[in-house]
Structure 1
Amino acid sequence: MPPPLAAGMGFKPAHMEEALHCASPGLWFEVHPENYMADGGPRPAMLEALAECHPLSLHGVSLSLAAAAPPDAGHLHRLRRLVDRVKPALVSEHLAWSAWGGQYLPDLLPFPRTQEALARVAANVLRSQDALGCRISIENPAHYLVLDGHDWSETDFLSELVRRTGCGLLLDVNNVHVSAHNTGVDALAYLDAFPLHAVTEIHLAGHGVDEDFPATLLVDSHDAPVDEAVWGLYRHVLSRGGPRPTLIERDGNLPSFDVLLQECARAGDLLETKGMAA
């Protein structure tokens, strides 16, 4: 039986050599599968080599689960082939939409959490799980404005989605902090209502500040170290729900591998004090 996942980081090709030779206990790597869903070439070969050394997680950004149409069948087919090749420990997607009526947008967009939306998202999650042959986990979004027209709170919506589909949840703690700041939600109250029993993975990341808005807006930019406020929320999550595989996300202003490994070690220390989950 493989050892449990501890703290991991988003994989970047620039760190390939360090990643292959790193022996940090419990280390794992996450990628956006869209960057590796080719039939051949250097990127799939790189990912397969990494999978020989470390557990992987596939974190998709393109299924558009909250859209009116089902996820693209061709995309699901290519993703299934990648799942079969690298056998990831975790597969996840976002509670968002990015395609509608044949239009594709390079963003993860919000929606009113209505009864109809819940039925739509649940159906798309079930289709995706059936096509991929595995359970997927759904990430809570980052919010930049207050939307009207909700029938469900976000935490209740996610709880019901888990009940209807058997999916897991990916708790992005930075998204909680960013959303709480931008929309006036109480971050601790949100986490206390979150269905932690269904969480299979936690994300930690840094954020930026957009000062062009009348009120300072936090942006989920993944281009800075994890903020101390996010570390505090993470400790709260662990105290309530116990340890879960935890990822350090960094997509911009990429530091050295060793710097990211230090953030992984900080998360790993907190996980160890709570005892590793089986």
Structure 2
Amino acid sequence: MSPELSTGLSLKPQHFDAAISCRAAGLWFEVHPENYMVDGGPRLRWLEAVRAEHALSLHGVSLSLGGEEPLDTAHLQRLAHLVQRLQPALVSEHLAWSRWEGVYFPDLLPFPRTTAALQRMAVHIDQTQNVLGRHIAIENPSHYLHIAQHTWDETDFLAELVRRTGCSLLLDVNNVHVSARNLGFGASDYLARFPCHAVSEIHLAGHTADPTLGEALLVDSHDTPVAPQVWALYKDLVAKIGPRPTLIERDGNVPAFDDLWNERSQAERVLRSAQQVAA
């Protein structure tokens, strides 16, 4: 794990003052770059003020790397400008698509993991990394239904993307738990197959049960605290692979900064325990 990065938090506008004033070692903050891809204004000035005190991560949600269409080059150039301006410690995107015929969808949508899709996504990752002048991390998705057209196991698909492009991986442990419950596979078995040597970042988040189907369908909602089952998977993972920069991800029902800090402290204890064992 980088000595500069330990456990980070999603940065929300209501927490800017607390973020700027905090001086905890290893603290970093993550934002969606789409909210800051502008030439100026107060929000960008706030983010630059936070960047003056802490490392940043840019976690993109709209490059549509898994889409069948060519990348939106104007969007990619705006992202590159923001990366150049902020010099974030981490840049990441998703194993998903979100754009069709020039229309953006507010979801990270799945696609069949075929060899053609692998080749297409590798080209898109290469293009992105070349424009940004750096490697990015790709996040494993949450799943809600079976797709019969898959011809690659997800962990093999991600490992091959790493081999072809040199990208790293963002391992979202909550996504693993949600997908395992929804599709009926073992979360621990999935993590045992995951190409953990390529993991540059870990995400922890909360989920909710579907209002109609209940626990039969979990939703990766990012609006609740990290669940005990996810903490257990995270603890076992870090004990196996060692510490990695870890984010507490919260996008809805955003609590007070102190509440998020309590979750950060829990992750910090896991990381420190793994460091002590490694030492």
Paired position in structure 2 for 1:205:
205
Paired position in structure 1 for 2:77:
77
Query: What is the CA-CA distance between 1:104 and the residue it aligns to?
Result: 2.3
Which residues of 2 match residues 27-176 of structure 1 at below 5 A?
A: 27-176=27-176
What SS does the aligned partner of 1:216 have?
strand
Query: What is the CA-CA distance between 1:71 and the residue it aligns to?
Result: 1.6
In structure 1, distance between residues paired with 2:155 and 2:71: 23
Paired position in structure 1 for 2:250:
250
In structure 2, distance between residues paired with 1:249 and 1:214: 23
In structure 2, distance between residues paired with 1:101 and 1:37: 22
Taking structure 1 as the reference length, the TM-score comes to 0.97
Query: What is the CA-CA distance between 1:214 and the residue it aligns to?
Result: 7.8
In structure 2, distance between residues paired with 1:197 and 1:149: 28
Counterpart residue identity of residue 136, structure 1 = I
Comparing 98-107 and 143-152, the one that deviates more: 98-107
Query: What is the CA-CA distance between 1:101 and the residue it aligns to?
Result: 2.7
Query: What is the CA-CA distance between 1:275 and the residue it aligns to?
Result: 1.2
Query: What is the CA-CA distance between 1:213 and the residue it aligns to?
Result: 2.9
CA separation of 1:198 and 1:61: change in aligned 2, threshold 3 A: same
What SS does the aligned partner of 2:181 have?
helix
Counterpart residue identity of residue 69, structure 1 = E
| 8 Å contact kept, 1:211–1:217 | no
Paired position in structure 1 for 2:274:
274
In structure 1, distance between residues paired with 2:71 and 2:6: 31
In structure 2, distance between residues paired with 1:76 and 1:221: 27
Paired position in structure 1 for 2:265:
265
Counterpart residue identity of residue 155, structure 2 = T
| 8 Å contact kept, 2:209–2:215 | no
Query: What is the CA-CA distance between 1:33 and the residue it aligns to?
Result: 0.2
What SS does the aligned partner of 1:274 have?
helix
Counterpart residue identity of residue 58, structure 2 = L
| 8 Å contact kept, 2:239–2:274 | yes
CA separation of 1:85 and 1:210: change in aligned 2, threshold 3 A: same
1:246-272 CA distances to partner (integer Å, 9 max, x unpaired)? 000111111110110111111011101
What SS does the aligned partner of 2:247 have?
strand
Structure 2 stretches of 5 or more lacking a match?
Answer: none
| 8 Å contact kept, 2:181–2:216 | no
1:196-238 CA distances to partner (integer Å, 9 max, x unpaired)? 0000000000101113138721000001110000000001111
In structure 2, distance between residues paired with 1:72 and 1:115: 23
Counterpart residue identity of residue 165, structure 1 = T
What SS does the aligned partner of 1:255 have?
coil
- CA RMSD in angstroms comes to 1.4
CA separation of 1:236 and 1:113: change in aligned 2, threshold 3 A: same
Q: Are 2:272 and 1:233 aligned?
A: no
In structure 1, distance between residues paired with 2:250 and 2:27: 16
In structure 1, distance between residues paired with 2:17 and 2:214: 45
| 8 Å contact kept, 2:29–2:55 | yes
| 8 Å contact kept, 1:115–1:151 | yes
Counterpart residue identity of residue 239, structure 2 = S
